[in-house]
């Protein structure tokens, strides 16, 4: 009989380590028994003894549950790296986040974190641009990057869409992006939207003297994503946006390599993530998914706001930002594992969802400056429209960075004053 629980096992630097929260089934005798089944099912075992299992296979490939915290129901399993095709994220997840979620021996299972060994990390390119590359592209050194999302999400035609973008850029925002469900619509064709929007981007850059960015959503099947990325490049664009979870990990790995060839920055929208992440006792954490996005090579990624309309508590968001921005992360016993990123560049975190200019001081205080702050309704919902909404956002940032209260700053800045009057908390 193969034993998959070994509390004396000491993980090596060649092990892939996974931390899970485990809620065992009521009829399961112990957490140790559930651990045995999880480790078995995610590697070389099955529900019964089999004649095809050899001592050699067991000795070489069996994982070890080396930590069991009964009080917090948290376990850690070390997997031998030979269990994985190193450059194949779908295969890795099929093992450590596959059949185990459906096993009767447990009621709930949540994958909290993954620690990738250096031999697997070295198989990935990570972001092409990352934080420093993006700052260099936009020529912004110290302040947060500021953006908006065209609203309504869908409904505007190509010229109307481009005009909204232009107003936001002229008002002082750096970035405008499509929303997650705007692709190639009957009323807004992708090709024409790119042409019209990038044309007005150029005019905004000439008028302001500042670099501006448009992030068109290329989400589609893989072949179409490649075609759309090429259209963006051929029209002078520098960025694309992808709904990373709806397109899937396999497509994401391939499109990342293609986009590197034509030299674009990738903005990763996390639409659908909450289907995996929101249940605090089951699924996969945003932290674990974010680490995978950094490995694959997303230059920037939605990670949460803490404030605003989207779910996500402070510790969760801060730790997620930590694992995608730092070169080395030291773990703890409940939410984080050690991770060394070697030559993988950091991914730029993005805060978006229900934000207005009034949130800016708190955003900077909690999340810092190496961020993209995006305001959808908080820009276009300004009483005087998109241009004034963008100006109010810039004014809020200027005030916060200078240590001036928003109400005081608003005395001489009418756009911020109007924003405060509308969104006063």
- Using the predicted structure, report yes or no on whether residue 2 has a pLDDT greater than 80: no
Of 121, 155, 186, which residue is a domain's last?
121
Place of tokens 């810092």: 368
Do 117 and 181 have their domain in common?
no
Cβ atoms of 108 and 282 within 8 Å: the answer is yes
Residues 312-324 as b or e (16 or more Cβ within 10 Å = b): beeebbbbbbbbb
Rounded Cα distance, 236 and 306, in Å: 35
Do 246 and 214 have their domain in common?
yes
pLDDT in tens, 86-106: 999 999 999 999 999 988 899
Do 85 and 35 have their domain in common?
yes
- pLDDT bracket for residue 50 (50, 70, 90): low
The pLDDT mean for the chain works out to: 93
- Using the predicted structure, report yes or no on whether residue 44 has a pLDDT greater than 80: no
Average pLDDT over residues 356-360: 95
- pLDDT bracket for residue 119 (50, 70, 90): very high
DSSP string, 263-305: T-EEEEE-TTTHHHHSSTTSEE-HHHHHHHHHHHT-SEEE---
Instruction: Give the per-residue pLDDT at 167.
Output: 97
Query: 65 to each of 4, 140, 242, 278, 385, how far by Cα in Å?
Result: 6, 47, 36, 26, 57
Percent of the chain residues topping a pLDDT of 90: 84
Average pLDDT over residues 117-144: 96
Rounded Cα distance, 65 and 19, in Å: 10
Average pLDDT over residues 154-177: 97
pLDDT in tens, 310-344: 666 788 999 999 999 999 999 998 899 999 999 99
pLDDT in tens, 247-296: 999 999 999 999 999 999 999 999 999 999 999 999 999 999 999 999 99
Cβ atoms of 55 and 65 within 8 Å: the answer is no
- Global pTM reads 0.94
- pLDDT bracket for residue 3 (50, 70, 90): confident
- Using the predicted structure, report yes or no on whether residue 198 has a pLDDT greater than 70: yes
- Using the predicted structure, report yes or no on whether residue 53 has a pLDDT greater than 70: no
Specify the 3-state DSSP secondary structure of 149: strand
Total number of domains constituting the chain: 2
Q: DSSP letter at 222?
A: H
Do 79 and 159 have their domain in common?
no
Instruction: Give the per-residue pLDDT at 216.
Output: 98
- pLDDT bracket for residue 376 (50, 70, 90): very high
Cβ atoms of 400 and 364 within 8 Å: the answer is yes
Q: Which residues are catalytic?
A: 151, 269
Average pLDDT over residues 352-358: 91
Residue 346, domain member (yes or no) = yes
- Within a 13 Å sphere around the CA of 392, how many CA atoms are in the beta-carbon half? 34
Instruction: Give the per-residue pLDDT at 33.
Output: 87
What's 101's domain CATH number?
3.30.70.150
Specify the 3-state DSSP secondary structure of 241: strand
Compute the residue count for the chain: 425
Rounded Cα distance, 230 and 233, in Å: 5
What helix, strand, coil percent values describe the chain, rounded to 5? Answer: 45, 15, 40
- Range name among 48-57, 69-78, 83-92, 129-138 with the lowest pLDDT average: 48-57
Do 80 and 222 have their domain in common?
no
Residue 10, domain member (yes or no) = no
Rounded Cα distance, 207 and 140, in Å: 18
Do 198 and 299 have their domain in common?
yes
Specify the 3-state DSSP secondary structure of 2: coil
- Using the predicted structure, report yes or no on whether residue 29 has a pLDDT greater than 60: yes
Of 72, 96, 121, which residue is a domain's last?
121
Do 351 and 221 have their domain in common?
yes
Closest CA to 150 of 173, 118, 125: 173
Domain that holds residue 57: 15-121
Query: 239 to each of 165, 235, 259, 298, 353, how far by Cα in Å?
Result: 15, 11, 10, 12, 21
């Amino acid at each position: 009989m193969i034993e998959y629980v070994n509390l004396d096992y000491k993980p090596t630097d060649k092990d892939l380590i996974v931390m899970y929260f485990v809620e065992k089934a009521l009829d399961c005798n112990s957490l140790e028994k559930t651990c045995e089944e999880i480790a078995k099912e995610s590697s070389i075992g099955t529900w019964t003894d089999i004649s095809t299992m050899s001592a050699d296979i067991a000795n070489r490939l069996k994982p070890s549950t080396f930590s069991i915290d009964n009080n917090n129901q948290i376990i850690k399993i070390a997997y031998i790296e030979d269990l994985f095709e190193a450059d194949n994220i779908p295969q890795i997840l099929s093992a450590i986040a596959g059949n185990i979620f459906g096993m009767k021996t447990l009621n709930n299972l949540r994958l909290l974190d993954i620690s990738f060994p250096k031999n697997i990390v070295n198989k990935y390119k990570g972001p092409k641009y990352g934080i420093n590359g993006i700052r260099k592209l936009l020529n912004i050194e110290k302040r947060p990057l500021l953006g908006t999302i065209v609203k309504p999400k869908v409904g505007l035609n190509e010229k109307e869409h481009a005009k909204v973008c232009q107003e936001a850029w002229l008002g002082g925002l750096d970035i405008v992006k499509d929303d997650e469900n705007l692709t190639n619509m009957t009323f807004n064709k992708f090709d024409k939207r790119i042409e019209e929007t990038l044309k007005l981007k150029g005019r905004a850059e000439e008028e302001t003297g500042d670099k501006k960015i448009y992030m068109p959503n290329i989400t589609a099947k893989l072949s179409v994503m490649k075609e759309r990325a090429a259209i963006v490049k051929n029209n002078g664009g520098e960025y694309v946006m992808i709904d990373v979870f709806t397109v899937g990990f396999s497509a994401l790995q391939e499109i990342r390599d293609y986009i590197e060839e034509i030299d674009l920055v990738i903005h990763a929208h996390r639409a659908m993530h909450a289907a995996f992440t929101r249940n605090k006792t089951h699924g996969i954490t945003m932290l674990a998914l974010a680490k995978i996005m950094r490995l694959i090579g997303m230059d920037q990624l939605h990670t949460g706001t803490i404030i605003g309309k989207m779910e996500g508590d402070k510790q969760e968001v801060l730790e997620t930002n930590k694992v995608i921005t730092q070169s080395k992360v030291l773990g703890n016993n409940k939410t984080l594992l050690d991770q060394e990123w070697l030559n993988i560049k950091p991914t730029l975190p993005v805060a978006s969802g229900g934000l207005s200019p009034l949130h800016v001081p708190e955003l900077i205080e909690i999340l810092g400056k190496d961020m993209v702050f995006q305001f959808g309704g908080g820009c276009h919902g300004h009483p005087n429209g998109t241009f004034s909404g963008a100006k109010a956002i810039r004014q809020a940032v200027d005030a916060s960075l200078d240590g001036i209260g928003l109400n005081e700053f608003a005395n001489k800045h009418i756009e911020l004053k109007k924003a405060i009057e509308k969104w006063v908390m």
